[in-house]
Amino acid sequence: MRRLKPVDVVIVGGGWTGLLMAKEITSRTALSVVVLERGPARKTEDYATTMDELDYAIRLRLMQNIAEETVTHRHSSADRAGPIRQHGSFLPGTGVGGAGEHWNGISYRFLPDVFTLATHWREKYGRAPLPEELAVEDWGVTYEELEPCYWRAEQMMGVSGKAGNLRGRLIEGGNVFEGPRSQEYPTPPLKSSYLSTLFRKAALDLGYHPYPAPAANLSESYTNPDGISRPGCAYCGYCERFGCMIGAKAQPTNTLLPVLARKKNFTLRTGCWARRVTHRDGRAEGVVYVGPAGEEVLQPAQTVVLASWTLNNTRLLLLSGIGEPYDAASGKGTLGKNLTHQVGAGAQVFLDKPLNAFMGSGSLGVAFADLDGDRALDRSSGVLRGGHFQTGSTGNRPIATFGATPPGEAESNWGAAWKKAALAWRDKVAGVGFSGEHLSYRQNYMDLDPTYTDKHGDRLLRLTLDWTEHERRQAAYGGGILAELAKALGPKAINLSPPLGRYTVTRYQGTHIQGGVIMGGSPERSVVNPYLQHWRTPNLWVVGASAFPQNGSGNPTLTVLALTYRAADAFVDRYSKRPGALL
């Protein structure tokens, strides 16, 4: 093994969190930072020729090559796990920028009570028992503490939107149910698509409070506090699963990398596959990786930061033998617990006018949060947490969307009758959706698979995950509201998504996988402290949605970035001056 010269900080993962940590550390200290990214380099100019649905949205050319590494899944500890052989329910990215390149840009804040959910429930329900398999925890940080970091993340990306709660003052047209914001959004909302206009009217007719979905896809040209300028969105409709060809969608490569490129104390190494964090006596010593030529390399470092997405953060710690793996039977151990995804329901609404749905932007849409959290819920509903409702004009492409027909109109999904019906309804099918909080449970967790391995022979991560009756009730609750909403759109026909069954890896449900390296107020119940510093190995930091004890109803990226800013502040302002445990 080749041993390199030590550096101050080695960061595993060149996506949003890794590059943001690198930017903050290299901008505010003289420390040397090396980022290891196993995928290729990526840049805006590459993306002009990638507006190809087949290669990028269907064959998933920007994603991790699942042939080299995947995860296994089982529904319960009693089952045998099978490998996820092709991408399905979530899409891990690879290359510089990671999943932050191919995301949609939707940038919701979480509700304040999400961060203190265990406390919130104690206050709301007193001693009334909750289902005992719940593993919900406080995050160890409050919304109020995180608010300035949310604002910095929004400024960094230039999020387009409209505030609904400015320092306690409620504003019509914004999300009046959100936590108080210190500032209006950096840029105004995106333009309104036809579908957005229809949805807003339907929601208002039903008495809800629709607002424009906050977008990291700029509504107008914008220069962020780092001096990075990006143009307004062109509504080309190639966001999700694509990189932005003009840089309107905030991505690590167009927002963070240009800042880092000027830093002499920053080094980015692509094609480097991290396999282990080496450690001794409660101290991380460096990262062992396989380099582009297949050679094993040890990069010693004073501090190690894991920023390699939820699943790989957890797996690297398990493979490295750092921390106590969670045991679901006894409830002992913390590493790997509180695996969550996202609860959803949807409806196809068949309208009488064309939508030009190929026009759009990844986060162009309208949402309402009247039923988010549990403000509108009581225990008798059997639903503990709700979610938000939205429609999106994200850019329909024909391979993925052609063929929708109203229930009963075509007997089969091929042949002349189907073709006729599908052509008649082409571009008249709107999607509306419900996105609910997925609570954490004792029985949903991650560990290492005993059977399957990656291309280097390292054991794969095993997900033990299934929906419970609660998620089925949540989805049914959301589906009921969606049915009313669909009717209010004046449809010719409606197709509701089927009831939530067992967790499936075959259907895309969002790349919102959380937990495994959760944050919290005590080392007995969490892996990292509220600054994302490892409780037992203080020169190891683990950033990303792996830190979420449970998820919120909104897309996680903005919260991930806010937590990363907070971690970076603690690192720069306190840890770099006096390395050691912050708590």
Partner 1 sequence: MRRREFLTMPAKSLGGLLLYTLAGEPVRVQAQDGTVRVPLRFFTADEARVVAAACERIFPSDENGPGATETGVVIYIDRQLAGPYGRDRYRYTKGPFVESVPEHGYQGQANPREIYREGIRLLGDFADLPAAQQDERLQAIEQTVFFQMLRAHTIEGMFSDPMHGGNAGLIGWQLIGFPGPVMSYRDEIDRYHGLPWRPKPKSLEQVTRRRVKGWEEEVD
Q: Please identify every residue annotated as catalytic.
A: 512
Binding mask 259-298 for partner 1 (x = CB under 8 A): ----------------------------------------
From 169-177, 395-403, 513-521, 523-531, span contacting partner 1 (CB under 8 A): 395-403
Quote the CA–CA distance of 122 and 386 in Å, as a whole number.
Answer: 18
CB 254 within 8 A of CB 103: no
Q: DSSP secondary-structure letter at 547?
A: G
In whole angstroms, the minimum distance from the beta carbon of 502 to partner 1 comes to: 5
Among 77, 221, 229, 413, binds partner 1 (CB under 8 A): 413
Comparison of 112 and 271: residue with beta carbon closer to partner 1: 271
Buried b / exposed e over 87-100, threshold 16 CB at 10 Å, is: bebbbbbbbbbbbb
CA torsion angle 362 364 370 375 (round to 10)? 30
Residue 475-494 contact track with partner 1, rule CB under 8 A, x = bound: --------------------
Nearer Cβ to partner 1 (193/390): 193
10 Å Cβ neighbour count for 55?
13
8 binds partner 1 (CB under 8 A): no
Q: How far is the CB of 191 from partner 1 (least distance, A)?
A: 4
* Residue 236 interacting with partner 1 (CB under 8 A): yes
Subset of residues 438 to 467 that bind partner 1, contact rule: CB under 8 A: 451-453
Contact between 40 and partner 1 (CB under 8 A)?
Answer: no
Helix axes 143-157 and 557-570, enclosed angle (nearest 10): 110
- 3-class secondary structure, 78: coil
SS3 (DSSP) at 180: coil
399 part of the interface to partner 1, by CB under 8 A: yes
| Sole binder of partner 1 in the list 90, 185, 238, 350 (CB under 8 A) | 238
Does residue 331 interact with partner 1 by CB under 8 A? no
Under rule CB under 8 A, residue 170 binds partner 1: no
Integer CA distances (angstroms), 508 to 75, 341, 413, 504, in order: 17, 11, 20, 9
> Taking the complex as a whole, how short is the minimal distance between the CB of residue 505 and partner 1, in angstroms?
6
Q: Interhelix angle for 194-205 vs 469-488, to 10°?
A: 100
**Dihedral sign computed on CA atoms, order 110, 116, 117, 120:** negative
Q: Give whichever of 30 and 399 is closer to partner 1, judged by the CB atom.
A: 399
CB of 176 to partner 1, least distance (A): 24
Measured CA to CA, the distance from residue 573 to residue 575 in angstroms comes to 6
Task: Decide if residue 166 touches partner 1 (CB under 8 A).
Answer: no
Q: Which is nearer to partner 1, 42 or 109 (CB)?
A: 42
Task: State the Cα–Cα distance between residues 103 and 93, nearest whole angstrom.
Answer: 9
Chain position carrying tokens 């509180």? 338
What is the C-alpha to C-alpha distance for residues 364 and 393, in angstroms, rounded to an integer?
5
Q: Does 150 bind partner 1 (CB under 8 A)?
A: no
**The only residue of 3, 169, 283, 353 in contact with partner 1, by rule CB under 8 A:** 353
- Decide: is 506 part of the binding site for partner 1 (CB under 8 A): yes
DSSP assignment of 329-384 = TT----BTEEEE--EEEEEEEE-SS---TTSB-TT-EEEE-TTSTTTT--GGGS-S
What residues have CB less than 8 Å from 569, skipping those under 6 apart?
24, 149
Interface with partner 1 (CB under 8 A), residue from 52, 184, 327, 458? 52
Phi-psi region of 215 (alpha: psi -120 to 50; beta: other; left: phi over 0): beta
Q: Residue count at the site for partner 1 (CB under 8 A)? A: 69
503 in contact with partner 1 (CB under 8 A): yes
Q: What angle do CA 530, 377, 472 make, to 5 degrees?
A: 85
Q: Is 45 in the site for partner 1 (CB under 8 A)?
A: no
As a whole number of angstroms, the distance between CA 421 and CA 340 comes to: 39
Which helix (DSSP H) or strand (DSSP E) does residue 260 occupy?
helix 257-260
Tell me if 46 contacts partner 1 by CB under 8 A.
Answer: no
Tell me which residues in 171-200 interact with partner 1 (CB under 8 A). Answer: 191-194, 197
CA 33 to chain centre: 25
- Residue 220 as a binder of partner 1 (CB under 8 A): the answer is no
Site string for partner 1, 74-113 (x = CB under 8 A): -x---xx-xxxxx-x-------------------------
Q: Which of 321, 331, 354, 480 binds partner 1 (CB under 8 A)?
A: 354
**344 vs 386, beta carbon nearer partner 1:** 344
Binding stretches for partner 1 (CB under 8 A): 48-49, 51-55, 58-61, 65-67, 70, 73, 75, 79-80, 82-86, 88, 191-194, 197, 232-238, 245, 353-354, 356, 358-360, 364, 393, 397-399, 402-403, 412-416, 419-420, 423, 426-427, 451-453, 502-506
